[in-house]
Amino acid sequence: SQQGEEDPQALSIQEGENATMNCSYKTSINNLQWYRQNSGRGLVHLILIRSNEREKHSGRLRVTLDTSKKSSSLLITASRAADTASYFCATPLRGSYIPTFGRGTSLIVHP
Amino acid sequence: EPEVTQTPSHQVTQMGQEVILRCVPISNHLYFYWYRQILGQKVEFLVSFYNNEISEKSEIFDDQFSVERPDGSNFTLKIRSTKLEDSAMYFCASGRLAESNTGELFFGEGSRLTVL
């Protein structure tokens, strides 16, 4: 399976701190995406990074991709209570473009 | 902003009953998907649909499941004879085939199915 697996499973931090989540995957990919899910809601796309990119920024989000290690990280800087959610990485299914998801990292940001 | 809408938000059914979950994808999108998430677990791919046919399906998507795009706007998931283990949140998603073929998906808020 090409599913990414996120680490840690759960992360609890104080508001203002940075949150780092990691994703590892098994086979070559052409892109990797990060999604966010608030409790009981749908997934929301955050950012996509292509295999020829090493780092990408979007607001307070920073994503890195290391294809040699088959891993990615999502950094949320200066976290806020509203960042409390589950975060998923998504890698394409069997070389196709269809995202498949790991178990996610549950992030709790305490005010 | 365009969004994917799903109905019903919650459905309770008896084991063995048929269930139809409905979705209205974003209007200019061409690729449609169903995923499911059992409570507290990962989001699992079920099926993708393009050009009025299934393009990919997972091992979960067995003969009990079917999808249809009956009228050019709705996209439905039918479960023919529900089982207890079908209880989950079902998410519809749609994607736009851009030249870069990014695979970015737009998700609905989900339909929670409870099988008793």
- Convert the pLDDT of each residue in B31-63 to its tens digit: 899 999 998 888 999 999 988 899 889 999 999
CA-based nearest distance B34→chain A, Å: 11
A43 and B45: CB-CB below 8 Å?
A: no
Interatomic CA distance for residues B95 and B105, integer angstroms: 5
Question: Is residue B66 a contact partner of residue B78, using CB atoms and an 8 Å limit?
Answer: yes
CA distance B86 to A40: 17
- Predicted confidence pLDDT, tens digits, chain A (111 residues): 557 888 899 999 999 999 999 999 988 888 899 999 998 889 999 999 999 999 999 999 999 999 999 999 999 999 999 999 999 999 987 767 788 898 899 999 999
Residue B48 has its nearest CB partner, among A43, A88, A98, at A98
B102 to chain A nearest CA, in Å?
Answer: 7
Q: How far is A44 from chain B (nearest CA, A)?
A: 7
Residues with Cβ within 8 Å of B71's Cβ and at least 6 positions away in sequence, in order, are: none
What is the CATH number assigned to the segment(s) A5-110?
2.60.40.10
CB–CB contact A43 B91 (8 Å):
yes
Task: Compute the residue count for chain A.
Answer: 111
Chain B residues closer than 8 Å to A92 by CB:
103
Provide the 3-class DSSP secondary structure of residue B86: helix
pLDDT of B28 reads 85
Cross-chain residue pair B103–A48, CB shorter than 8 Å: yes
> Are B101 and A99 an interchain contact pair (Cβ–Cβ within 8 Å)?
no
Using the Cβ of A42 and the Cβ atoms of chain B, whether some distance falls under 8 Å is answered with yes
The amino acid sitting at A91 is T
- Number of neighbouring beta carbons within 10 Å of residue A104: 27
Q: Considering only the beta carbons, identify the residue of B41, B44, B109 that sits closest to A42.
A: B109
Closest chain B residue to A36 measured between Cα atoms? B107
Q: What per-residue confidence (pLDDT) applies to A71? A: 96
Q: Which residues contact B53 (CB under 8 A, 6 or more apart)?
A: none
What domains does chain B contain, in order, with CATH numbers? 5-111 (2.60.40.10)
Whether B4 and B93 have beta carbons less than 8 Å apart is answered as yes
pLDDT at B100 over 50: no
Identify the pLDDT of residue A95: 62
Report pLDDT digits (tens) over B81-95: 999 999 999 999 998
Neighbours of A66 (CB within 10 A): 12
DSSP state of B28: T
B41–A103 C-beta distance less than 8 A: yes
Chain B nearest-CA residue for A100: B45
Q: Spell out a b/e string for B28-51, using b for 16 or more CB atoms within 10 Å of the CB, else e.
A: ebebbbbbbbeeeebbbbbbbbee
The position carrying tokens 């990691």 is A22
Please answer yes or no on whether A42 and B110 come within 8 Å at the CB atom: yes
Across A10-19, B4-13, B59-68, B69-78, least confident range: B69-78
Mutate to test the interface with A, among B43, B60, B109, B114 (most CBs of A within 10 A): B43
**Mean pLDDT of chain B, nearest integer:** 91
